[in-house]
């Protein structure tokens, strides 16, 4: 949010701005409201705009520890139709707060003079208690100077029509998880209503710790910022909040422009859907292809593939598709795909779980035979038979001392496979051979050993 215009910074006067999320508006009161009273007094209590802000997200973003730095404050910004000569006398703004959502206010915040003999305006928050069958003010929980600025600073409470009421979260007992409802109204001895209420806006409910909008001007726990040309404030808007309006209260603008409404255009994040399909082996050591389809196809980002809560891997989304090759272990698997958007233009989504079962391979037994004695001039061989409960396919390897001598494919005959492995000529002596069936996608490997004696040519 970029500010433009001419600021004031001279002789102890400094122009300030307080930004808010605009949460309530009220039409101008009709002429009958001023019957029997001064029109200027009625105008000074005629609510037009109410805004909300919270410094709690600022403190979190700055890395502050709530245990030591506190949770921050909320600020209620109020703009009325006409100027008050002295805030907190003839016109008194009031804020009722229902913390627990039971429809009865728990707190009452009043903007008035600190005492009859002291021209000092305060924001005081009291506990509301039951008394004599009704409600009454209880203990004082929080006291702040009006606008959150002490009297030695320019607080602009005279001849103004905008004011900020700070409420310290920790002091009044608003904690993480609370979503209080606020009701803002003005009271005056000149009000025609017997209750003394001059004007009110509809109640609004907010989360001080996760508001729709919050502001950052480089200073944590701040409600006010320098109001000068070129000043920039960062506006943080909650994901999915869409369009909205901001309320800016300028302390030293003219009466007609102290309250400025700024429209916010925010592209609402598009909803996405993710579907997962799985293809491939259903027995151990095989591979599976996990394919996630993300809609709309324009969505960018990545997909995180999960087996229960265990991540199998991630893959980029290209043209609405992300693919991962996996090798699942024996057992039942609950597979899912989680789409992670690359920007705020799209919302994340997760597929329904796909159950995929992987069974163990059938066991196998390998037996081998070789000639008892063979001449060094002859070509040796090993006959191999592999038995299993499933049809064995694949390769048989013959090795000696870790060195592969030869291999060949077995010929399956039902659940039995046979092979004749021809070896290279071997030197004279006894050779201890290892015969290894390498297994297949459905049959586990197995091995055996056999001895082969080679005699030199011409010896008996």
State how far the Cα of 50 lies from the Cα of 249, in Å rounded to an integer: 10
Q: In this structure, how many other beta carbons lie within 10 angstroms of the beta carbon of residue 452?
A: 23
State how far the Cα of 9 lies from the Cα of 11, in Å rounded to an integer: 7
Please list the pLDDT of the chain residue by residue as tens digits (460 residues): 888 888 777 666 778 899 999 999 999 988 766 566 678 888 888 999 999 999 999 999 988 888 888 999 999 999 999 988 778 888 899 999 999 999 999 999 999 887 767 778 899 999 999 998 889 999 999 999 888 766 555 566 678 899 999 999 999 999 999 999 999 999 988 788 888 899 999 999 999 999 999 999 888 889 988 888 888 999 988 877 778 899 999 987 877 788 999 998 776 778 999 999 999 999 888 899 999 999 999 999 999 999 999 999 999 999 999 999 999 999 999 999 999 999 878 999 999 999 999 999 999 999 999 998 999 999 999 999 999 999 999 999 999 999 999 999 999 999 999 999 999 999 999 999 999 999 998 899 999 999 999 998 765 4
Question: Is-contact 3 227, C-beta < 8 A?
Answer: yes
Query: How would you class 11 by CB atoms within 10 Å of its CB: exposed for 0-12, middle for 13-18, buried for 19 or more?
Result: exposed
Q: In this structure, how many other beta carbons lie within 10 angstroms of the beta carbon of residue 439?
A: 21
pTM for the structure as a whole: 0.61
């Amino acid at each position: 949010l970029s500010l433009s215009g001419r600021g004031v910074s001279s002789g102890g006067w400094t122009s300030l701005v307080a930004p808010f999320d605009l949460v309530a508006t009220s039409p101008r009161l009709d002429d009958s409201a001023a019957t029997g009273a001064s029109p200027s007094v009625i105008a000074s209590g005629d609510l037009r705009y109410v805004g909300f802000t919270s410094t709690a997200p600022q403190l979190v973003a700055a890395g502050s520890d709530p245990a030591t730095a506190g949770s921050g404050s909320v600020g209620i910004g109020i703009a009325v139709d006409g100027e008050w000569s002295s805030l907190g006398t003839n016109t008194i703004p009031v804020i009722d707060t229902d913390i627990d959502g039971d429809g009865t206010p728990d707190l009452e915040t009043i903007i008035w003079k600190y005492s009859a003999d002291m021209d000092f305006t305060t924001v005081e928050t009291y506990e509301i208690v039951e008394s004599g069958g009704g409600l009454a003010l209880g203990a004082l929980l929080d006291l702040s100077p009006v606008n959150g600025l002490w009297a030695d600073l320019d607080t602009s409470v005279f001849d103004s029509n905008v004011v900020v009421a700070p409420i310290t979260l920790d002091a009044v007992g608003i904690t993480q998880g609370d979503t209080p409802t606020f009701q803002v109204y003005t009271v005056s001895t000149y009000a025609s209503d017997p209750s003394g209420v001059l004007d009110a806006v509809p109640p609004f409910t907010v989360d001080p710790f996760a508001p729709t909008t919050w502001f950052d001007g480089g200073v944590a726990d701040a409600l006010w910022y320098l109001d000068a040309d070129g000043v920039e404030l960062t506006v943080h808007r909650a994901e999915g909040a869409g369009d909205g309006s901001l309320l800016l209260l300028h302390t030293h603008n003219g009466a007609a422009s102290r309250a400025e409404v700024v429209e916010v255009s925010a592209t609402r994040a598009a909803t996405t859907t993710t579907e997962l399909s799985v293809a491939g082996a259903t027995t151990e050591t095989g591979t599976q292809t996990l394919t996630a389809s993300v809609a709309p196809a324009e969505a960018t980002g990545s997909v995180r593939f999960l087996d229960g809560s265990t991540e199998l891997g991630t893959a980029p989304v290209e043209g609405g598709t992300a693919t991962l090759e996996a090798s699942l272990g024996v057992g039942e698997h609950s597979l899912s795909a989680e789409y992670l958007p690359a920007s705020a233009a799209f919302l994340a989504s997760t597929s329904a779980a796909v159950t995929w079962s992987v069974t163990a391979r059938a066991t196998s037994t390998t037996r081998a035979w070789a000639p008892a004695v063979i001449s060094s001039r002859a070509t040796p061989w090993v006959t191999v038979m592999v038995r299993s409960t499933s049809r064995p396919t694949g390769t048989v390897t013959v090795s000696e001392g870790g060195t592969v001598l030869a291999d060949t494919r077995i010929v399956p005959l039902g659940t039995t496979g046979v092979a004749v492995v021809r070896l290279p000529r071997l030197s004279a002596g006894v050779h201890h051979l290892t015969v290894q069936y390498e297994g297949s996608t459905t049959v586990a490997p197995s091995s055996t050993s056999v001895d082969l004696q080679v005699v030199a040519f011409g010896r008996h």
